[in-house]
């Protein structure tokens, strides 16, 4: 981690929602999801917020040897977003406690605030992380 990894880092990230990021596409194996409305899925929204947080801090890590993994997410999903709209995430790193990073996050679709909350990530050494995962075995 670089000395520049401090609270106050902000980042804005945009993404135009395709049909492939709607609820029916989330788990095509699920009949229940397949018949739901074609709107930005909460699962993809969470990934989008994580993506913004990753982009915010990567310049402040020894990337790619150091990476981050999500460890906690506490966000609302307040409004439906149809495909074609562009969503904008605004994230801010609000706390650094050792390797634990806490972010304030929100997203807007150009019409409504669609999400707000907090997200935590943990800085990892990619090589050591992979070794631990492999040791778990199938």
Is residue 33 within 8 A of residue 27, CB to CB? The reply is yes
Q: Is residue 77 annotated as part of the catalytic site, yes or no? A: yes
Q: What is each CA distance from 129 to 44, 56, 122, 134, in whole angstroms?
A: 24, 21, 11, 9
Is residue 53 within 8 A of residue 91, CB to CB? The reply is yes
Choice among 38, 42, 88, 92 that is catalytic:
42
Choice among 13, 50, 60, 108 that is catalytic:
50
Q: Is residue 42 annotated as part of the catalytic site, yes or no? A: yes
What is the number of other CB atoms lying within 10 angstroms of the CB of residue 121? 23
Q: Is residue 50 annotated as part of the catalytic site, yes or no? A: yes
Choice among 13, 60, 77, 119 that is catalytic:
77
Alpha-carbon distance of 43 to 49, in angstroms, equals 10
* Active site amino acids: 42, 50, 77
């Amino acid at each position: 981690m670089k000395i520049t990894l401090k609270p106050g880092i902000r980042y804005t990230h945009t993404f135009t929602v395709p049909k492939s990021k709607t609820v029916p596409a989330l788990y095509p194996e699920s009949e229940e999801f397949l018949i739901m409305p074609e709107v930005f899925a909460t699962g993809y929204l969470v990934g989008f917020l994580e993506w913004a947080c990753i982009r915010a801090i990567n310049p402040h890590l020894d990337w790619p040897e150091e990476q981050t993994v999500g460890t906690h997410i506490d966000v609302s999903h307040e409004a439906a977003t149809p495909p074609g709209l562009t969503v904008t995430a605004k994230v801010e790193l609000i706390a650094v406690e050792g390797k634990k990073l806490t972010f304030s996050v929100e997203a807007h679709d150009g019409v409504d605030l669609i999400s707000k909350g907090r997200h935590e990530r943990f800085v990892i050494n990619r090589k050591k992380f992979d070794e631990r995962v492999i040791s778990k075995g199938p």
